[in-house]
Chain A
Amino acid sequence: MIYLGIDTSNSPLALALIEDGVVLIEETANLKINHSLTAMPAIEEMMKKAKVLPADLTHIAVAEGPGSYTGVRIGLTIAKTLAWSLKIPLHSVSSLKVLAANGQGFDGLVCPIMDARRGTAFIGLYEGTGLKSVLADQHSDVKEFLLKAKELGRPVLFTGIDAALHEALIVEVLGRAAHFSSIQNRLPRASNLILLAQQSEESDVHHAVPEYRRITEAEANYNKAQEGQIL
C-alpha cells in the first residue's frame, strides 16, 4: 500500500509518500510558492526520486481546508483527479487537524491557527493526546476564540506559522497557559496527514469539496442586502 499525501492549503507545500508504514519521502517547503505552478512538478519529482509510479499508488490523502481558498482548491483538484482516474480511495483531512498533529503528545490542548486577516483566523482546538476535537474548526475572531479556550483552564499549545502573528494577543489572554511549538513544528507535514487519513473514512471522490469554513464575500453582501430588504 502506498499513500500519497498532499497539503497545499496555505503557503507551505507539504508532500509525502508512505509505503506499508514506512515514510519513503517527505517534503515541506515554506517558500511562498505558487501551488498551481509547482505542486504537480513537486509531486512528479518526489515520486521519481522514490521510484513510485502513478499506477503504484493505492491511496490519496489531502488536506481539505480551511486555509487559502485557492490553495485548498488546488490540492483537492489534484487529489480528486488522481484518486478518481486511478480508481483508488481518497481521504480528506482537516488542514487544521494536520497542523494540530504537530502537537501530538502535548499534555493539554493543541490550537492550530491560520491567519485570516482583520483579527480573524481559521482556528480549532484539539486534545494533545488522540487529537479529539474540543472546539470545532472555524473562522473566528481570534480574541473571542482565545477567551473560549481560556475557560477550559488547560495549557494550550499553539501551532502553525501564523501563531507568531498573534503571539502577543495569545499571551495577553492565556498568560502562562500559552505554549508555542518550536519552529519546525509549525509547518504542516504530509506524513501526519497520511497517518490521520489512515484513521479516517474514505471520502466520496466526486463530492469531496473544500471545507472553506467561510462563505464568499459576494454571498455575505447578498445576504446582508436581502436582510435589509426584509427590514
Chain B
Amino acid sequence: MSKDIYVLGIETSCDETAASIVKNGTEIISNIVASQIESHKRFGGVVPEIASRHHVEQITLVIEEAMQLAGMEPDQLDAVAVTEGPGLVGALLIGVNAAKAFAFAHQLPLVGVHHIAGHIYANRLEQEMEFPLLALVISGGHTELIYMKEHGDFTVIGETRDDAAGEAYDKVARTLNLPYPGGPHIDRLAHTSDEAVMFPRIWLEEGSYDFSFSGLKSSVLNYMHNAAQRGEQVVPERVAAGFQNSVVEVVTGKTMRAAEEYKARQVIAAGGVAANKGLRNSLDAAFKQKGIPFHIPSLPLCTDNAAMIAAAGTVMYEKGLYGNMAMNGRPGMPLTSWI
C-alpha cells in the first residue's frame, strides 16, 4: 500500500479566510473557515480592501487551528495547496504569500489551485468522481457548466454572459429590501409563497449552454417600478418565487440537456448557490427521473472553503504540478486543464 498524502489547503479568494488538512484528496481531517460576512453586511457587499485587512488578521490563526485540530506538525505534511485565482487580487495574495512562506519554511512542495477546480473537487470529499462528469458551478461570482473527461481535464461548455447567478440574487434581494447576502432570503421567501409572478426564461440561442441573468433581473426591477407607479402593493414572496422559478428552470434545463448530450456518468453541482433549496430540489428531481447520478456536496463544502482547495491540490501534487516562490495571486486566472 502506498503512503497516505496529507495536504494543507489555504483559501482567501473572497471574504472567507480558510485552511484545511485533507488526506489522500478524499478525507477531511480539519476544515476551518473564518467568515467575514458580518463585516461587509453594512456595506451591502464585499469591500475588497476590508476583505484583505481581515485576511491578514486571520491567516495564521486559521492555519494554526487547522493544524492543531488535525494534531499535525508541518513536517507531517506532503504539500501546501493554495487558491491562486480567480478572485479579489488583494485577498488572493494574502493566501498565496502565506502559503509560499509556509512551504518555504518547511521545504514543502507548493501547489496553486484554480478556485473553480476546487469547487468541483469538493465533491470528492463525499463521493468519488466518475467520468465523464458534468459540473454546474454556481455562486456569487460564477455560473458555469464544465465538462470533464477525466481528472484535471476541464472544458467550459457554458458560462454566464453577464451577471453570475448569485449576483442576480443579491440585486433582486436589494430591490426587495432584503439584507445582504440576498440568496438565502429569496430562497426562504420563495418557499413561503404558493403563487409566483411570471418572469421570462432567458434561454439564449438554440443549443447554447451559456446563461444570462441581467435580463431577468431587469424584468424584476421593471415589475417593481411599474407596481410602484400604479400604487399597487407588491407581494415580495411572489416576486421572490417568480424570480427563483425562472432561474431554477433555466439552470436545471440547461444542466440536464448538457448531461444528456455529453453522456455524463455523474453530474455534480458546486458553489454557494448550489446550497439554494429550490435549485437543489429541482436538480435532484430532474436527474432522479432521468436516472443520472447527481450529487451536491453538503452546505459547508458548497460555499468557499479550503478543503476543496486541498482536495484539488492533492491531485495536482500527485501529478507533480508544483508552483514556486514566484507564484502570485491571479485575479483573472483561466480554468485550464492539468493534463
**A residues 84-140 touching B (CB-CB < 8 Å):** 84-86
Q: Which of B47, B105, B326, B328 has the most CB of A within 10 A?
A: B105
Contact of A217 among B42, B49, B325 (CB under 8 A): B49
With A36-B329, A37-B326, A218-B47 already in contact, the answer to whether A209 and B104 are too (CB < 8 A) is no
Alpha-carbon gap, A34 to B102, bound state (A)? 20
A81 touches B106 (CB 8 A): no
**Contact (Cβ within 8 A) A219 B61:** no
Given A54-B106, A206-B60, A222-B43, A77 and B50 contact (CB-CB distance below 8 Å) = no
A-B contact count (CB 8 A): 103
Residues of A within 8 A of B52 (CB): 69-70, 73
Known: A206-B60, A206-B64. A69 touches B49 (CB 8 A): yes
Q: How many residues of A contact B (CB 8 A)?
A: 34
The interface stretch among B91-99, B112-120, B179-187, B217-225 is B91-99
- Cβ distance B67 to chain A, nearest Cβ, rounded Å: 9
**CB–CB B107/A84 < 8 A:** no
- Report how far A44 CA is from B105 CA in the complex, Å: 10
The B contact surface, by secondary structure, is helix
Contact A40 B93 (CB under 8 A): no
At the interface, yes or no: A146 with Cβ under 8 Å from chain B? Answer: no
A36 to B328, Cβ gap below 8 A?
Answer: yes
Q: Does B56 contact A (CB under 8 A)?
A: yes
Contact of B53 among A40, A207, A216 (CB under 8 A): A216
Q: Kindly state whether residue A82 has any CB partner on chain B within 8 Å.
A: yes
Number of B residues near A (Cβ < 8 Å) is 34
Q: Does A59 contact B (CB under 8 A)?
A: no
Considering the chains assembled together, what is the distance between the CA atoms of A84 and B107 in angstroms? Answer: 15
A36 touches B97 (CB 8 A): yes
Q: What are the residues of chain A within 8 A of B53 when measuring CB–CB?
A: 69, 73, 209-210, 212, 216
* Cα-based distance from A210 to B106 in the complex (angstroms): 25
Judge whether A77 and B56 touch: CB under 8 Å. yes
Residues of B near A82 (CB, < 8 A) are 101, 104-105
B166 interfacial by beta-carbon distance below 8 Å: no
List which B53-77 residues lie within 8 A (CB) of chain A: 53, 55-57, 59-61, 63-64, 74
What is the distance, in angstroms, from B75's C-beta to the closest C-beta of chain A?
A: 10
Q: Given the interface contacts A37-B326, A41-B326, does A85 sit within 8 Å of B106 by beta carbon?
A: yes
In the complex, the chain B residue whose C-beta lies closest to that of A218 is B47
A41 CB contacts on chain B under 8 angstroms: 324-326
Checking B57, B90, B93, B328 against A209 with a beta-carbon cut-off of 8 angstroms, the contacting residue is B57
The residues of B that contact A25 with a CB separation of less than 8 Å are none
Interface: B254 (CB within 8 A): no
Given A85-B74, A216-B50, A218-B47, CB of A76 within 8 Å of CB of B56: yes
Quick check: B50 and A218 within 8 Å, CB to CB? yes
A171 to B100, CA, bound (A): 45
Instruction: State whether B101 touches A81 (Cβ < 8 A).
Output: yes
Knowing A37-B328, A210-B56 are in contact, say whether A77-B104 is a contact too (CB < 8 A): no
Contact between A206 and B61 (Cβ–Cβ < 8 Å)? Answer: yes
Instruction: Give min CB distance, B159 to chain A, whole Å.
Output: 27
List B contacts of A39 (CB < 8 A): 97
The answer on a CB contact under 8 Å between A77 and B57 is no
Within the complex, the shortest CB–CB distance from B54 to chain A, in Å, comes to 10
CB of B105 within 8 A of CB of A218, answer: no
With known contacts A40-B104, A40-B325, A81–B60 Cβ distance under 8 A: yes
A-contact bits for B33-56, CB 8 A (1 contact / 0 none): 000000000110001011011011
Q: How far is the CB of B38 from chain A (nearest CB, A)?
A: 14
Does A193 reach chain B (CB closer than 8 Å)? no
Q: Is the CB of B104 within 8 A of A36?
A: no
Quote the shortest CB–CB distance from B105 to chain A (angstroms).
5
B-chain residues with CB within 8 Å of residue A54 when the two chains form the complex: 104-107
- In angstroms, Cα B94 to Cα A34, docked, is 14
Pairs A-B, 8 closest by C-beta atoms:
A81-B101, A40-B325, A36-B93, A218-B47, A41-B325, A40-B100, A37-B328, A77-B97
